[in-house]
Amino acid sequence: MFPETTWSLITRLRKTAEHRSALTDLCCRYWRPVYLYVRSAWAKSDADASDLTQAFFLWLLEGEPLKRYAPERGGFRPYLKVLLRRFVGHQEVALKRLKRGGQARIVPIDDVAAVAPARDADPEALFDRAWVQEVVGQAVERVRRHFTNDGRADAFALYERYDLAGGDDGMTYASLAESTGVPVARVKHELSVVREAVRREIRSDLRQLTTDDRELEEEWRALFG
């Protein structure tokens, strides 16, 4: 069958070291979305939002919410949003427990402060957008490394100019071919190869984060709007 997903690993191994590492992995993937949600929902400063995000994951890790998650009732990401909404009432308690302490940080906090959300942004929309960015951005990065290491940086460069550069609506395969001196047929082929690699990366990533095919397809569709 399918390789074990992060999620099924978590449900299988409650309270073991492996469980903890799988959960940490999951937290890493959702860290930015949660942070942005927390920060915009309660208009917190960066430091407070980071603490609250930390507290949220601790609450998630130790409390009941994860045990109550029933994959057949819906995807994990929507469930996480439900939990976030519910977290509002628990935040102070969670924060206190965090301060009382002893807990190691679950995830390192890097450059989150750089992405302060607008004050009036819808936290759920921010959450979803951050998630798309996380999934797509990381997949593109992996493909980039992959192509660079395999000596196919030129193919990725075409992809970068055509897809990633965005903005230029007027660009066609022909105009890209002309400006790079690569034949049109090759442009099309290389683009399709890189896009397929990105698609595969995203889907294998999503498979890790979902429990079944249905949820996978839902998440895949969710990426596109």
Partner 1 sequence: MPSSGDRPPHDSVVGALRGLAEHERQRRDVDLPERYRLGEVIGRGGMAIVHAAHDTQLDRGVAIKIMRDDLSLEGADEARFRREVEATARLRHANVVTVFDAGPDWLVMERVHGESLQERMQREPLAIADAAVLIEHVARGVQAAHDAGIVHRDLKPSNILLDADGTPKVADFGVAHLVGDVTALTQSGMVIGTPRYMAPEQIDTRRCSIGPATDVYALGAILYELLTEQTPHPGDTPLAVFDRIVREEPRPPKSLNDRIATDLQTIVLAALEKDAARRYDDAGALADDLARFRVGEAIVAKPPTPVERLRRTVRKRKGVVAATALGVVALTIALAVLLPKLGESRRTLGLWREVTTLMTQAELDEHRGALERARAGLDRGIAQCRAFLAEDDVADAHYFLGRLLRARGDDAEALAALDRAVERDATLAEARHERGFLLLARYERSLEAVLDRGHARRSAGATPPDVLERRHPAVRVLRRRAIADLSADVRDSNYVREIERRFAAAEVDRLQWRWENAERTHRAILDDDPHYTPSLVALAKLSIDRHDWAGAIGHASAALEQNAGLGEAYLIRARAALESRLRSRTGSIDPDPIRDDLDRAIERLPHNALAYRERGRLRISVADLDGAIADLTNAIERADGDAIAFNARGRAHVEANRPVDAVADFTEAVHISPEFGQAWAQRALVRATQGDTRGAVADARQALEVSPPEAGWNRQMRTLLAMLHAR
Binding interface with partner 1 (CB under 8 A): 72, 111, 129, 132-133, 136-137, 140-141, 144-145, 148, 159-160, 162-167, 169-174, 191-192, 195-196, 198-199, 202, 212-214, 217, 223-225
Q: Are the CB atoms for 222 and 128 separated by under 8 Å?
A: yes
Min dist. Cβ of residue 19 to partner 1 (A): 22
Q: C-beta of 80: minimal distance to partner 1 in Å?
A: 20
* Pick 9 or 132: Cβ nearer partner 1: 132
Q: Which is nearer to partner 1, 41 or 139 (CB)?
A: 139
- Whichever of 88 and 164 has its CB closer to partner 1, that residue is 164
CB of 220 to partner 1, least distance (A): 10
Q: Is 13 or 71 the residue whose CB approaches partner 1 more closely?
A: 71
- The residue among 7 and 59 lying less far from partner 1, judged by its C-beta, is 7
Q: Which residues, 6+ apart, have CB-to-CB distance to 41 below 8 Å?
A: 84, 88, 123
Shortest distance in whole angstroms from residue 159 CB to partner 1: 7
182: Cβ–Cβ under 8 A, 6 or more apart, which residues?
A: 158, 176, 190
Give the residue with the Cβ less far from partner 1, 80 or 202.
202
Distance of alpha carbon 195 from alpha carbon 197, whole angstroms = 5
Contact 9, 86 (CB under 8 A): no
Q: What is the closest distance, in whole angstroms, from the C-beta atom of residue 30 to partner 1 in the complex?
A: 15
CA distances for 17 relative to 3, 21, 23, 47, angstroms: 20, 6, 10, 29
Whole-angstrom distance, CA of residue 173 vs CA of residue 151 = 23
103-106: long-range contacts (C-beta < 8 A, 24 or more apart)? 103/58, 105/54, 106/24, 106/27, 106/54, 106/57, 106/58, 106/61
Closest approach, Cβ 141 to partner 1, in A, equals: 7
